Structure 1
């Protein structure tokens, strides 16, 4: 085995070991939180995501703020499996995840304990049931994250948003008894590696696309060095009883695209700079 390969393998094992040690007790604590309600079931997942980001060497910078009003559906672009940790580290969010995540080793169990909603996007007949489940969670006050592209992209552009699950926002109005649900656009931008700006090619290498296996991708991230990710919260879009879900999806898509392009081109407004929160990592 080549020295570089040995070093890469040792780095991977060093990263997996602490995760393997702290994950079982944290899963037990999370299960207890869900069963007893002695503490919020959002605390442990947020801590787990923050610890995992430290291991991966990923630093998060936040621009803007998550809306405080509920119900709240967060519509974000999707680049990599690390997006879940990036957003999950911030403020007690819950995720709408593809069905196969449920069966992933360790991550699937933790996703279930985080009370993620698992959807099968290919089964159109299941969409109304899935939307009702999401609507129920929104009505209960859980901020739900929808990766609205329906798949991961290469990190430099936003793919068209799929509007089907935006219907959950409309259904949530019935359960919450409110006049509107907020849909907040969020742009995730992978910006720097070891302090240097990423170009399009490097950003696409970081992205998790297609049938890429998880462990090789994890090894690549660890070998790449420290990463900086910017999260931009846009202005929430009101979704009322008479709103058109396709129009809301297009509006959210346009705002996420605008924020991503501005971030990658370095055109942040002074307002965004002033509202930036210091990273906890």
Structure 2
């Protein structure tokens, strides 16, 4: 890897400015369209976010390498590791599903509005007294036929490992849709290359947003970067019927996802 290769991968101001301009134009154009679609409860409100995320992924230079088979029929509770806001774009481009997010996101400037327009389910993860209501909110969406995406780590990681899963929200997996148990599908999301250069520990923070990182500088760096390869692995789906309790289900999903991340990070074939 030469100095020029590294400089190209780490980006350019011109590329960043162009991408940011196109992103804002695309987003501002589609916000009112999605707002009307959500207000009218149109099927377009489910389809438009997928198109939006696919366009954003292309705009940001994200190459998505997909392994495994996604469940084709819903409702499904997809569970994934989480290292960056870019995971929203990656999974949003691949899944006809809404996200489950912490309640603080609803109050974020600009991105909170985008989350609401994407029909995100907001939960207060620290309030034990509201767990039942949150479980019901999630369950109602699933029973209505909507698939959801859950990040059970509760926070974002550095992308090199998978944190332990919080099992509380897996309680919704005990619901039956009709007479069938809810399908749960684990997904591993791992950034692996930057402009063809293996990311490794040094480059992965250009994708991962975690800890006390400031959002605006990190986002500006992302707009400037060269193309990034992100590997997405769909693991075999499961149901609560195969486990003694929700914690065992959460542990199984965590192990499957952690193994997928470890294989992608090391370059080993998936098990």
TM over 0.5: yes
How many Å separate the matches in 2 of 1:136 and 1:206? 33
Q: Which residue in the other structure is 1:82 paired with?
A: 86
How many Å separate the matches in 1 of 2:12 and 2:220? 7
How many Å separate the matches in 1 of 2:102 and 2:240? 24
How many Å separate the matches in 2 of 1:186 and 1:241? 18
Q: Which residue in the other structure is 1:146 paired with?
A: 150
How many Å separate the matches in 1 of 2:187 and 2:242? 23
Q: Deviations over 1:107-154 (max 9, x none)?
A: 211110111001121212122111110111111121111101011011
Q: Which residue in the other structure is 1:194 paired with?
A: 195
Which piece of structure 1 moves more, 220-229 or 71-80? 220-229
Map 1:1-281 onto structure 2 (within 5 A).
10-170=14-174, 172-173=175-176, 176-240=177-241, 243-269=244-270
Distance 1:138 1:243, change over 3 A: farther
Equivalent pair of 1:179/1:240 in contact (CA under 8 Å): no
Count of aligned pairs: 262
Q: Which runs of 5 or more structure 1 residues have no equivalent in the other structure? A: 273-281
Displacement of 1:86 after TM fit?
Answer: 0.3
Q: Which residue in the other structure is 1:277 paired with?
A: none
Displacement of 1:262 after TM fit?
Answer: 1.6
How many Å separate the matches in 1 of 2:195 and 2:232? 18
Equivalent pair of 2:190/2:265 in contact (CA under 8 Å): yes
Equivalent pair of 1:70/1:181 in contact (CA under 8 Å): no
How many Å separate the matches in 1 of 2:94 and 2:113? 20
Equivalent pair of 1:46/1:91 in contact (CA under 8 Å): yes
How many Å separate the matches in 2 of 1:218 and 1:31? 25
Q: TM-score, normalised by structure 1?
A: 0.86
